[in-house]
Structure 1
């Protein structure tokens, strides 16, 4: 490819609405152009990256035995109504009507459609296992689309769905896809971690996220540097930090804490460690009547150590909170505690509440908690003596750096990541809702066991840039760069020798099936180099009259601090070695 035949549209400055590095650099490099909120045109430079990502994904899916098909973007609502997701999914699901008034959705994912295909086509155990995948446009009506392709409304995703006859077979399909995903991200050239994850809205009971490591990532990844343990912050198990509850050594004392409503402020006032305080969080659950009105509410008090944070995902798995919870209103808090928020605690309640203590809190002695009276806290509080044992002890907090690893093989560390892939074991969640069955060896119908596996194709672009960039621009891994090599002739329009050498090198690399671009635009060296450093082409060869007179060219890798002089005859071999 010659630059004069391609479309190059770089910018010196990013648009004002570009917030994060990947968004700014993709706009400046001419990879995307904004069409609307969270909706982008993928320009030729960006599309080349997308196609390379898709090629790697497609080849590994095919290698793993998955079969490609293509499901529509617009899907009839009836299928989504079968599973209940038409109503449950909320405003992120874009609903539309056709000219006849029939309901349709713009798909964010395709569990319903693929299950409909399976229940029609997979009728016998002899046809299982089967794994279907497609690479297709998706749409999620984000309330606040931002960060370019990282959180857009329209995006491209690869989603795959496995169908198996039993749990054991489904487990093998899951492991097969997990292995394929590892190969995909290895080939993409990205530093990543596969972490145990919560299944979230899709459902199921086994899940792993594939996170690209980046300091700017939104997700916290918990891992043990001395073992294989890794999980996202929502799922990472927090062990009790105290081996057992100590004996009470202090009397319960009501202590004045004027205008000190946070654990940190109270600890500072009392000159005590923050870890000696207990934080109170008040939740509520509602029981609805047949008309959908609130018939009865239950108030819950969740207790975590003052230096810890509540993990709402873990709280949502507690029996009684699984059906959904909300934070209690001020009125509910005043009714049950006799006090406004800021001084709440488990001692001296006005009305009973369900008390859930985090594992560490359950082992604490002589702790500090709110006295349910403005400007007062209790010190020297102890379980059993000053208040009853909690109704439930559970892991309800976020882990922190330095916590013991749940596998007992070290301590936990935390780093940031960007989720770009997710594998789920769904079980029969969708097959049961849609009656997707097969006939077993005895002729009896059985529900299919399902798995679902997604990769955010366009999101990978943003994640790769967040991980790989410098002050000059993008630094693409070889495998997904828009062009692998750029040949930069200086004065090509003035020197026949430069033109001939550049043209021959370009052709030699093309003959080796190396993705090379010849910059024949006639730009000044500074402008030419700045463009390709911004775009992030990994390998650059500069050809000049002066160099040719010495029989040399200059090679520079995108991460190299300086250029290397090579004999013109050796440059192809050098590039082959670097690309290998």
Structure 2
């Protein structure tokens, strides 16, 4: 490839709405161009990266026994209504109608469609296992699309779906895909972690995310440096404290805390550690009829230590709280007789259901709201001032220094960007869609399913977040738009430079190297700045002065200085570096 025949459209400045490095650099390097909110053109330079990502994914999926299909972007609503997701998925699911007023969706994922394929094609256990995958455009109507390809509305995803005869076989398919994912991400040359995760809206009871480690990542990854334990913050378990509760040492007292409505403010006023305070979180659940009308509501009070944060995923798993919402101010006043900021479990106007975090259950002499504005209770103790908690659960996010659930050390936390996810679904979709096959006992049985996704267009953005410097992108070799760039100085003025550059270009092409020759005639500074911004990992610079000495300059994108290489040896030098 010659640069004059390609489209190179670098920019000196990033657009004003580009907040993170990948969005800024991919735009400046001419890889993406914004068309609308969360919708981008993939320009030739960026598309080359995407195609390389796709090729690696496709190769490893085929190696793992996947069978490629393509499912429509526009899908009939009837299939989504069978599983209930047409109504449950919310505003992220883009719904449309055709000219006949028939409902359709723009696919964000394809569990319904692939299950429909399975129930038509796989009649017997003898046809199983099967794993169907596609690399296809998806659309999710994000409330706030941002960060370029990191959180766009239209994107490309690889989604795969396994079908097995029973749970044991499905677990084998899951592990096969998990191993394939590790090979894929190893080949990309990125630093990543496989972490235990919550299955979310897709469902299932076994789930792992693959997270690229990056300081700008949206997800918090919890791990143990002394073991292979890793989980996202939503899934990581906070172990029950091992120490016994201390004996009460203070009398309960109503203490004035004027204007201090947060645990942090109260702790500062009373000169106490924040960990001595307890925060009150008020939730509600609604009882509805078949039409969705609310028949009644139950108010819940959750108690967490003042220095801990509620984990909504964990709370949603507490029996009775699956569809919780935060209580309204009127509900809070009705039950507590006080506005938020001074709430506590003692002296309620109306009873509530109490759920206590594990850490709070072993606290003594703690501080909470007095259910009266500008007052808190100090020296509160279980068993004396209020009954022992009957419902204790893990309600909080873990923090650095918590004990690892595997007992092998303390937990640490780092940031990550999710680029892949593997789920074991069980019969969630096959049961809803009556997708069955004839089992070996001669009776109909529902497919055991798994699903496996990789964000094809998100992955390059994650790679940039992990690999860049003040000059631009630093692509790993496997997914760089070009592996080698040849930068001839004064090629339009020197026949010797032109001849040497074109020979090296031809030799590398013949050897199968993905190389580009910059024959645009740009000034040396501008030319080198372009390729540093674009991030091609290997660069060769040729000039008259160097050629007179029989030398060229080689520089790997991460190197701080160039290395002189003899002209006669540059081809073998580069190919050995690539090998």
TM-score bucket (shorter structure): over 0.9
Q: Deviations over 1:133-169 (max 9, x none)?
A: 0000001111111111111111000000000000000
In the other structure, the counterpart of 2:392 is 393
1:90 and 2:90 correspond: yes
Partner residue in 2 for 1:579: 578
Match of 2:467 in 1: 468
Rounded Cα–Cα distance in structure 2 between residues aligned with 1:576 and 1:163: 43
Matching of residues 60-71 of structure 1 within 5 Å:
60-71=60-71
Distance in 2, matches of 1:494 and 1:158, equals: 48
Residues 242, 360 of structure 1: 8 Å contact kept: no
1:540 paired residue number: 539
Aligned to 1:427: 426
| 1:83/1:112 contact within 8 Å kept | yes
1:334 matched to 2:330? The reply is no
Q: What pairs up with 1:129-528 in 2 under 5 angstroms?
A: 129-241=129-241, 243-322=243-322, 324-528=323-527
- The alpha carbon displacement at 1:240 in A equals 3.0
Preserved contact between residue 493 and residue 522 of structure 1 (Cα < 8 Å): yes
User: How far apart are the structure 2 equivalents of 1:381 and 1:239?
Assistant: 23
Q: For the residues of structure 2 that align with 1:130 and 1:291, how far apart are their CA atoms?
A: 39
Report the Cα offset of residue 404 of structure 1: 0.7
C-alpha deviation, 1:391, in angstroms: 3.1
Shift of 1:508: 0.9
CA distance in 2, matches of 1:357, 1:53: 47
| 3-state SS in 1 of match to 2:173 | helix
Contact (CA 8 Å) 1:241, 1:403: kept in 2 or not? no
Report the secondary structure of 2:4's partner residue: coil
In the other structure, the counterpart of 1:120 is 120
Return closer, same or farther for 1:410/1:383 CA change in 2, 3 Å cut-off.
Answer: same
Q: 2:202, 2:390 → 1: CA distance?
A: 31
Q: Distance in 1 between matches of 2:127 and 2:571?
A: 50
SS in 1 for 2:453: strand
Contact kept in structure 2, 1:242 and 1:364, CA below 8 Å: no
TM-superposed deviation, 1:338: 1.2
> Which residue does the alignment assign to 2:560?
561
Aligned-residue Cα RMSD (Å) equals 0.9
Q: Which residue of 1 aligns with 2:52?
A: 52
1:301–1:355 CA contact under 8 A, matched in 2: yes
Output the CA distance in 2 between the equivalents of 1:43 and 1:292: 47
Structure 2 CA distance, aligned partners of 1:291 and 1:564? Answer: 73
In 1, the alpha carbon distance for the partners of 2:160 and 2:288 equals: 37
Q: C-alpha distance in 1, partners of 2:218/2:142?
A: 16
Query: Alpha-carbon deviation of 1:228?
Result: 0.6
Instruction: Give distance in 1, aligned partners of 2:240 and 2:354.
Output: 18
Q: Is the 8 A contact 1:189 1:479 kept in 2?
A: yes
CA 402–286 in structure 1, closer or farther in 2 if over 3 Å, else same: same
> Residues 21 and 456 (structure 1 numbering): CA distance in 2 closer, same or farther, change over 3 Å?
same
Is 1:261–1:342's contact at 8 Å kept on the other side of the alignment? yes
Residue 241 of structure 1: how far off its partner (Å): 3.9
Secondary structure of 1:4's partner?
A: helix
CA drift of 1:98 comes to 1.2
Query: Equivalents in 1 of 2:289, 2:79: separation in Å?
Result: 28
User: Which runs of 5 or more structure 1 residues have no equivalent in the other structure?
Assistant: none
TM-score relative to the length of structure 1: 0.99
Q: For 2:5, what is the secondary structure of its paired residue?
A: coil
CA deviation string 1:439-488 (max 9, x = no partner): 01222100000000000000001111111110000000000000000000
Distance 2:30 2:401 in 1: 43
**SS state at 1:407 partner:** coil
How far apart are residue 291 of structure 1 and its match?
4.0
- What is the distance in 1 between the residues matched to 2:444 and 2:567? 69
Q: What's 1:570 paired with? A: 569
Give the distance between the partners of 1:290 and 1:537, measured in 2 at CA. 59
SS at match of 2:383: coil
Pairs aligned (count): 579
Matched residues in 2 for 1:377 and 1:47: separation? 60
Q: Distance in 1 between matches of 2:145 and 2:111?
A: 24
Secondary structure, counterpart of 1:569 in structure 2: helix
Separation of aligned partners in 2, 1:180 and 1:336: 53
How far did residue 292 of structure 1 move?
2.4
* Partner-residue secondary structure (3-state), 2:333: helix
Q: Which residue of 1 aligns with 2:25?
A: 25
Partners of 1:346 and 1:45 in 2: CA distance: 60
1:389-426, Cα deviation, whole Å (9 max, x unpaired): 22310000000111111111000000000011100000
